Amino acid sequence: MSAKIAVIDDETQIRRMLRIALKSESYEVVEADCGKGGLALIARQQPDLVVLDLGLPDMDGHQLLSELRGWSSVPVIVLSVRAGEREKVRALDAGAQDYVTKPFSIEELLARIRAALRDRIKPDQPAMLDDGYLKIDLSRRLVEVEGSRVDLTPKEYAVLSALARSPNCVITQTHLLEEIWGPGHKNDTHYLRIIVSHLRQKLGDDPTEPKYIKTEAGVGYRFIYSDNSV
């Protein structure tokens, strides 16, 4: 399945142009015309990349980016008429991957989108994990247990996918907290404990003898994976 891109821009013509261009490259496109709607869209649709305008009617794009980085590491490309160096530096420091000024070349924007997506799922990382009981499809953001879809919250999926992208490797609590909640939450380990507890319940993973999500005391977590389907 192709990557899903969220376009957050209040200009109808810009959204239409981007929709046509992105769909011509086989991307799936979802849209919002305001900041609050954009945040809700990202939480609900979990896109692979966000194209964000700064001049939104209900909130400044910088504010949206700041709120987004509190719970998501999705790549963001800012698309704005604001060409000042301070605006660019502010956006990049806040967590944007790239900054493109309007008017813009659609070919250049598409190239920047490809570059930003390139590291989203690295070639040496499995896009699918399936042991016959648990199936995690990272490219489709799909989790199934015994063939039935498991509904996860955005935070639950973010933690599970971060662990599943590096199976059998220890991922530190600090790394997970900074990546998913943001740098200001690196000591909030109780957030992780709650999410991991919910994940174990939904995956049918016994917390006393976990099969999938193992706690490495004082360090972090490890996703245990062995392909038993072959």
Coil, strand, or helix at residue 7? strand
User: pLDDT by residue (tens digit) across 65-76?
Assistant: 988 887 777 899
Per-residue pLDDT at 119: 58
Q: What angle do CA 133, 129, 221 make, to 5 degrees?
A: 90
Residue 108 vs residue 218, higher pLDDT? 108
Return the DSSP state at 11. Answer: -
Residue-range domains of the chain with CATH: 4-118 (3.40.50.2300), 128-223 (1.10.10.10)
Alpha-carbon distance 118 to 196, whole Å? 28
Q: Are 29 and 23 in contact (CB under 8 A)?
A: yes
CB 10, CB 57: distance < 8 Å: yes
Which residues have a Cβ under 8 Å from the Cβ of 174 and sit 6 or more positions away? Answer: 186, 220
Q: % helix / strand / coil in the chain, to the nearest 5?
A: 40, 20, 40
Q: What are 29-60's pLDDT values in tens digits?
A: 999 999 999 999 988 888 889 999 999 999 99
Q: Is the pLDDT of residue 205 over 80?
A: yes
Structure tokens at 68: 């987004």
pLDDT at residue number 122: 52
The pLDDT tens digits of the residues spanning 89-138 come to: 888 888 888 999 888 889 999 998 988 887 565 545 567 888 889 999 88
Residue with tokens 């969220």: 6
Report the share of the chain in percent with pLDDT over 90: 43
Tokens of residue 4, six digits: 């899903």
- CB within 8 Å of 101: residues ≥ 6 apart: 80, 81, 82, 83
**Residue 87 clears pLDDT 60, i.e. is over it:** yes
CB of 46 closer than 8 Å to CB of 141: yes
As a whole number, mean pLDDT of residues 6-34 equals 94
pTM: 0.56
Sheet containing strand 128-130, strands side by side: 128-130, 134-137, 142-145, 148-149
- What percent of the chain has a predicted confidence (pLDDT) above 70? 94
How much is the pLDDT for 45?
A: 84
Lowest mean pLDDT among 49-53, 73-77, 154-158, 181-185: 181-185
Quote the CA–CA distance of 154 and 39 in Å, as a whole number.
Answer: 12
In this model, does residue 194 exceed pLDDT 90?
Answer: yes
Which stretches within the chain are classed as H helix? 12-24, 35-45, 61-68, 85-93, 106-118, 154-164, 173-180, 189-203
Mean pLDDT across the chain: 87
